[in-house]
Structure 1
Amino acid sequence: MSKHLLFLLLTLSTSFFAQVKFEKGYLIKNNDERSHVLIKNEDWLKNPTQITFKATEDGAQQTAQINEIKEFGIDNFSRYVRFTGKIDVSTDNLQRLTHTSEPVWETQTVWLKVLSSGKRNLYSYRDKENDRFFYSDESTPIEQLVYKRYYPGGNTSNAVSNNYYRQQLQTYFAGEEVGNKLRLIPYKEGSLTQFFHAYNELPKQTVSTAEKSKFNLYARPGISIGSADLLFEEGSTANATFESNIGPRFGIELEYVLPFNRNKWSVITEPTFISYKQTGKNSGNTDVSVKFAAIEIPMGFRHYMYLNSSSKLFVDAVFNVANFQVGEGNLQYIVAGTTYQKYFDLSLGLNMGFGLGYNFKDKFMIQARQYTRKELTTNYVFETGYYNFSLIFGYNIL
């Protein structure tokens, strides 16, 4: 099993770090010089503070800072413009809300992401905790739309909102036939973008490239190559190493694809049935056997790496948060030099798994996953370890 694990970890690291994708885009420098370049598309969850680009496919990688670039964009994907001005740095974390409705202004220089552009422009800025939205048009420079949650009078059981952004929008769109649409519009990227987009009469496909969350449900049958060992202490005649065998495994995986970073990240959970049964000889050359069946509940994260519009590689890591034994699980062995048989009920420990796979059209997948050692006798002073390498096939039934 250690060879499987080493191979998988090396493959995972190679695949993960090899995926550096430069896409066609442009830069506008401080002197208004526009250059067509290839920009490393990291689909930033938070607004970037620097970017990496190349002048040509074979060119050297270069780094550009905010103070050098007033605007940049990746073709058919995203566009950022530089802004220097007041940004509300109030936290939106419920544990640390302030007690007043007034924004906490700081003057900063940042790149704002363009969500919608035309007669009226909408921008976004995201830092560690907050989403802020900004507005501009031909007569109005870029200005933040103000929204702030706070605890009035320090009452931490009652968070209220300063929704001044609605008044701002009513003023900006005064005279337009959109008033009713602005009275209750949420301070959310999707809602604001949809409104601006409709006003600017832009086709749907040119709206902000923010992705949508998505659920997938995969049936995941496969095989498990398992082995086990029994260890009392060094030199004990009861020590044993069980040979590998192949057994079935079956899981149902629920995947929640996160709505950022081009849907490259997801959260997964997969209740999985596994079983193992093997007999052998211990160091004292007497019979020893182990068997168990269980349903594991792993949870973890997955990262996708796109090959083209239909295909993608992925790596994932899961932690088995619970085990439920199915039927009897036990360990038995004959004490060396006697006919006396010892019998132990199994109690399963928790472990982790690391996987590498291929997904086609979000419908079919194949994956290899190596699990770390699972302790089978957690209630005893001796150790019984189970090792598992799985080959898994998946079909999206949603």
Structure 2
Amino acid sequence: MKAMSFALFLFTINLFAQVKFEKGYFIDNQNQKVECLIKNKDWIGTPTEIEYKLSDTSQSNTILLENINEFRIDETNHYYRRYKVLIDKNTDVPTDHFVEGAYFLRIILEGKVSLLEYPQDGLLFYEIEKGKAKQLKYKKYVDTDAKVREDNSFRKELFENLKCDNITFEKALNLKYEKRELIKFFETYNKCQNADYENLNKHKTTGKFNLKALAGINFNKNIVPNVNFVIGGGTDEKKFNPESSAQSSIALGLELEVLLPFNKNKWAIILSPTFSTYKSSSSKTYYNAMGAYYTITSPSSGGTPVTVYSTYDFRLDTEYSYSYIELPIGIRRYFYLNENSKWFVDGSYGMIFHAKKPVEKIDFEKIRTSNIEPDDIEIKTSSAVKLGLGYTFKDKYSVALNYYVSKTLSNSSGNSFSLLVSYNFL
């Protein structure tokens, strides 16, 4: 439930994130070309609409993709054109199921012969004659004998239609149905034909890695031991929980950040092994905490047994000490302020591994009574769920405030905060 709430939180913030308007154009259904600034959301698939401005100072407008034939954002890989094609999306069965329709295809490489893609399904097409695209046939399926089969008909298609001295039968025969290899193949053909071409894929947002050193402080004042002390028995039984007087501690670690290859690297996966310590101690006296009935015989009662009620006091002393490695994995969302600054929110869940055996001590001072027994104490699974808010400068220096929605250290749990600074080595 907490994970779902955080995902909704990220989605809500994403709706208000700032994205740049960049130079480009679109061609409407009346074949009118409109030079403009288009809001670049760095789409994974094909968008359903685009937002644009005619100038930096003008208001933005939105146009549905169904009302345009082509659009492009300069110096990016976002170049789309509508084609009427036969398309077969059933690539996991041996039989063909071509359906005719109008689809927006992304232009990967444009030249005398162009390479195109239907992003939603990763299907590849090629264009020899302007405005006419044909799907490159490739299928991978399991046959009736439970064997994996491949239909690489696209190799024969390209070899027969793209004749060139530099394209041998062997080269075509070993061609893989991968964008990287097909881009090289189409570059070879266009060079062979002395034709100008443009590789749009070189502008694609690529994944990146960051490795950061972390240092900071944990504020663990809200974490308390989860141990009940049972006094008495039967209907007279009472339970008490020890209090906590936790102190701040140092945290040291590393963070591996994987920036995902879309949406201008605004999303990242993070893994942050961090070493920390935690100590807690308490001492409290409970006065008149429990009563009991005693039967006594006294001279004043003439030797007749009399039942009296007596109260008693006791004190609980506890000491908890942990040295542990937290291993959280999570997701982060960046929001750019300018070229040098950005802030981020993240959320993570991680297991906690104890670097050495935890110290979990309980001492009792019995005051006028007996029958004080603690619950059995054993080392339990430890984990943490946290949310973070931070700021990054020049992709090198960061500061983050983390709130632990839940943090369990064996027999202690609760909420806490941490303040971390980091430096990126890469």
Q: Which moved more, 1:387-396 or 1:203-212?
A: 203-212
Match of 2:301 in 1: none
The one-letter code matched in structure 1 to 2:224 is D
Q: 2:132 aligns with which of 141, 147, 165?
A: 141
Match of 1:103 in 2: 96
SS in 2 for 1:302: strand
8 Å Cα contact 2:162-2:189 kept in structure 1: no
Match of 1:250 in 2: 252
Q: Which moved more, 1:169-178 or 1:202-211?
A: 202-211
The one-letter code matched in structure 1 to 2:380 is S
Tell me how far apart the structure 2 counterparts of residues 72 and 271 of structure 1 sit (CA, whole Å).
45
User: Cα–Cα, structure 1 residues 134 and 10, in superposed 2: closer, same or farther, change >3 Å?
Assistant: closer
Tell me how far apart the structure 1 counterparts of residues 418 and 7 of structure 2 sit (CA, whole Å).
14
Tell me how far apart the structure 2 counterparts of residues 190 and 9 of structure 1 sit (CA, whole Å).
33
User: Cα–Cα, structure 1 residues 66 and 106, in superposed 2: closer, same or farther, change >3 Å?
Assistant: farther
8 Å Cα contact 2:266-2:333 kept in structure 1: yes
8 Å Cα contact 1:238-1:282 kept in structure 2: no
Match of 1:88 in 2: 88
Match of 1:270 in 2: 272
Q: 2:357 aligns with which of 310, 313, 328?
A: 328
Q: Which moved more, 1:348-357 or 1:114-123?
A: 348-357
> Any idea what the Cα deviations from partners look like across 1:218-239, whole Å, max 9, x if unmatched?
2222221212124668xx7733
User: Cα–Cα, structure 1 residues 251 and 150, in superposed 2: closer, same or farther, change >3 Å?
Assistant: same
Tell me how far apart the structure 2 counterparts of residues 346 and 215 of structure 1 sit (CA, whole Å).
36
Structure 2 spans left out of the alignment, 5+ residues? 1-5, 229-237, 287-314
Match of 1:5 in 2: none
Q: Which moved more, 1:289-298 or 1:345-354?
A: 345-354
SS in 1 for 2:183: helix
Tell me how far apart the structure 2 counterparts of residues 289 and 17 of structure 1 sit (CA, whole Å).
48
Q: 2:160 aligns with which of 171, 174, 182?
A: 171
Match of 1:131 in 2: 122
Is 1:389 the counterpart of 2:384 in the alignment?
no
User: Cα–Cα, structure 1 residues 15 and 341, in superposed 2: closer, same or farther, change >3 Å?
Assistant: same
Tell me how far apart the structure 2 counterparts of residues 204 and 282 of structure 1 sit (CA, whole Å).
76
SS in 2 for 1:351: strand
User: Cα–Cα, structure 1 residues 33 and 259, in superposed 2: closer, same or farther, change >3 Å?
Assistant: same
Match of 1:75 in 2: 74
Match of 1:196 in 2: 186
Q: 1:344 aligns with which of 377, 394, 413?
A: 377
C-alpha displacement of 1:281: 4.3
List, as ranges, runs of 4+ consecutive aligned residues in structure 1 with deviation greater than 6 Å. Answer: 8-14, 202-205
8 Å Cα contact 1:239-1:282 kept in structure 2: no
Number of aligned residue pairs: give it: 374
8 Å Cα contact 1:330-1:345 kept in structure 2: no
Match of 1:297 in 2: 327
The one-letter code matched in structure 2 to 1:53 is Y
User: Cα–Cα, structure 1 residues 230 and 182, in superposed 2: closer, same or farther, change >3 Å?
Assistant: same
The one-letter code matched in structure 2 to 1:258 is L
Q: 1:220 aligns with which of 208, 214, 217?
A: 214
C-alpha displacement of 1:44: 1.2
Match of 2:44 in 1: 45
Match of 1:315 in 2: 345
The one-letter code matched in structure 2 to 1:226 is N
C-alpha displacement of 1:213: 3.2
Q: 1:118 aligns with which of 111, 122, 135?
A: 111
SS in 2 for 1:242: coil
8 Å Cα contact 2:81-2:105 kept in structure 1: yes
Tell me how far apart the structure 2 counterparts of residues 178 and 140 of structure 1 sit (CA, whole Å).
25
User: Cα–Cα, structure 1 residues 385 and 74, in superposed 2: closer, same or farther, change >3 Å?
Assistant: same
> Any idea what the Cα deviations from partners look like across 1:190-216, whole Å, max 9, x if unmatched?
222243345546798854422333333
Tell me how far apart the structure 2 counterparts of residues 32 and 117 of structure 1 sit (CA, whole Å).
20
C-alpha displacement of 1:58: 5.4
Q: 2:145 aligns with which of 155, 159, 164?
A: 155
C-alpha displacement of 1:277: 0.6
SS in 1 for 2:46: coil
Identity of aligned residues (%): 29
CA RMSD of aligned residues (A): 3.5
Match of 2:387 in 1: 354
The one-letter code matched in structure 1 to 2:128 is D
Tell me how far apart the structure 1 counterparts of residues 356 and 164 of structure 2 sit (CA, whole Å).
73
C-alpha displacement of 1:10: 12
Tell me how far apart the structure 2 counterparts of residues 26 and 140 of structure 1 sit (CA, whole Å).
18
Tell me how far apart the structure 2 counterparts of residues 280 and 54 of structure 1 sit (CA, whole Å).
64
Tell me how far apart the structure 1 counterparts of residues 122 and 55 of structure 2 sit (CA, whole Å).
34
Match of 2:297 in 1: none
8 Å Cα contact 1:116-1:123 kept in structure 2: yes
Tell me how far apart the structure 1 counterparts of residues 247 and 11 of structure 2 sit (CA, whole Å).
28
C-alpha displacement of 1:249: 1.2
8 Å Cα contact 2:108-2:199 kept in structure 1: no
The one-letter code matched in structure 1 to 2:386 is G
